[in-house]
């Protein structure tokens, strides 16, 4: 009897052997729309069934406030956004920095921060009541430094960690408080139905960490641990996302934050070689991703994709692996390459 997608993920997280390697799907909206057309699928559920994608069901309490009280054109955090056209679609980029002029901790506290109470809790309860039983359920997120960069500007945000640590701690404190209270309420309402939460920070660039380990350990890890501990107390597993060459911080993510799934495994980056990750962390982590969407998926052939998936099956065999692209599939990745990824792992990923 084949496992359900949820059973497959949970078996892997429990250290057991599922019937086959689980899969996941990350893509831009434009890619999903194209796949639905090309593969003649009515909706995402049909697409998942056709490509044997296990996937994740996301839930969250929708906000009841649409903009910041001081700026009707900004989001809850006071950040304006601008759609940037890249030829085959659009991305939303930060277009304002509401905390750029902050000079003191008092200024930080004076900002009108959003409230976790401003969410539709009845709508969330309805989401929980209507959850499908066959897919893994993810709820809640915490990626504060990305939001910090949007509110302060990336360059200033990086400088703050070195020159304005009190301001950094004050801003990060407000971001943590909001997300902790929001997640705590969602986790309690969804207790027993939520399987996974998402803790994230893009700590790695193409060649190394984007900030020093000292700064990561001071400003990010303690609150990541508190957020992960909250989830664990509710029986929820921890998925962690960091792009790039993040090898130097993985021991901290395991020992301090307590992560269970590491995404996305950009194995072409220094230190992220699959053999080394399996050797050093394979007994403590589930690896998620590892199908390269910087070279292979966009610019390779279907045969190249098949070869990479087969390499991953072989290299991750001593560990636990969820097959997925390294971050969102982009429009430059041909449909036939995406299909080759999922068909290959389905055909050869039997455990």
User: Mean pLDDT for each consecutive 10-residue tract of the chain (351 residues)?
Assistant: 96 97 97 98 97 97 96 97 88 95 98 96 98 96 98 97 98 98 98 97 97 98 98 98 97 98 98 98 98 97 98 98 96 97 98 87
Q: Are 145 and 92 in contact (CB under 8 A)?
A: no
Q: 259 vs 128, 136, 163, 243, 320, CA distance in Å?
A: 25, 17, 30, 15, 14
Looking at residue 146, the DSSP 8-state letter turns out to be H
Instruction: Give SS3 for 101.
Output: coil
What pLDDT sits at residue 351?
87
Closest to 349 (Cα-Cα) out of 324, 323, 330, 327: 323
Closest to 114 (Cα-Cα) out of 61, 167, 166: 61
How many Å apart are CA 13 and CA 22, to the nearest integer? 11
Q: Are 114 and 78 in contact (CB under 8 A)?
A: no
What pLDDT sits at residue 86?
85
Question: In terms of DSSP H, where are the helices of 89-203?
Answer: 105-110, 121-129, 144-152, 154-163, 165-189
Closest to 191 (Cα-Cα) out of 155, 228, 236: 236
Domain 5-63+113-141+187-348 annotated CATH 3.20.20.210: yes
């Amino acid at each position: 009897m084949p496992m359900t997608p949820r059973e497959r993920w949970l078996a892997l997280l429990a250290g057991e052997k599922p019937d086959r390697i689980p899969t996941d799907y990350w893509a831009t909206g434009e890619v999903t729309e194209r796949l639905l057309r090309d593969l003649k699928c009515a909706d995402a559920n049909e697409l998942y069934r056709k490509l044997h994608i296990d996937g994740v069901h996301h839930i969250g309490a929708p906000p009841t406030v649409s903009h910041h009280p001081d700026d009707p054109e900004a989001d809850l955090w006071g950040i304006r956004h601008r759609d940037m056209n890249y030829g085959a679609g659009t991305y939303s980029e930060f277009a304002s920095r509401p905390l750029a002029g902050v000079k003191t901790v008092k200024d930080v506290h004076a900002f009108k921060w959003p409230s976790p109470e401003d969410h539709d809790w009845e709508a969330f309860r309805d989401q929980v009541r209507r959850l499908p039983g066959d897919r893994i359920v993810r709820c809640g997120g915490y990626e504060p430094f990305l939001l910090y960069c949007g509110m302060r500007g990336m360059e200033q945000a990086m400088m703050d960690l070195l020159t304005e640590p009190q301001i950094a701690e004050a801003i990060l404190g407000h971001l943590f408080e909001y997300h902790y209270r929001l997640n705590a309420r969602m986790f309690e309402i969804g207790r027993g139905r939520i399987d996974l939460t998402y803790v994230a920070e893009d700590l790695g660039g193409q060649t190394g960490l984007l900030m020093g380990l000292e700064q990561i350990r001071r400003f990010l890890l303690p609150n990541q641990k508190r957020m992960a501990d909250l989830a664990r107390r509710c029986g929820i597993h921890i998925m962690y996302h960091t792009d790039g060459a993040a090898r130097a911080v993985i021991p901290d993510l395991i020992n301090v934050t307590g992560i269970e799934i590491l995404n996305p495994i950009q194995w072409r980056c220094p230190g992220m070689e699959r053999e080394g990750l399996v050797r050093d962390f394979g007994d403590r982590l589930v690896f998620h991703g590892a199908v390269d969407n910087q070279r292979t998926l966009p610019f390779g052939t279907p045969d190249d994709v098949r070869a990479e998936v087969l390499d991953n099956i072989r290299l991750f065999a001593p560990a636990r692996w969820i097959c997925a692209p390294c971050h969102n599939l982009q429009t430059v990745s041909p449909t036939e390459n995406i299909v080759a990824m999922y068909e290959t792992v389905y055909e050869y990923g039997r455990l």
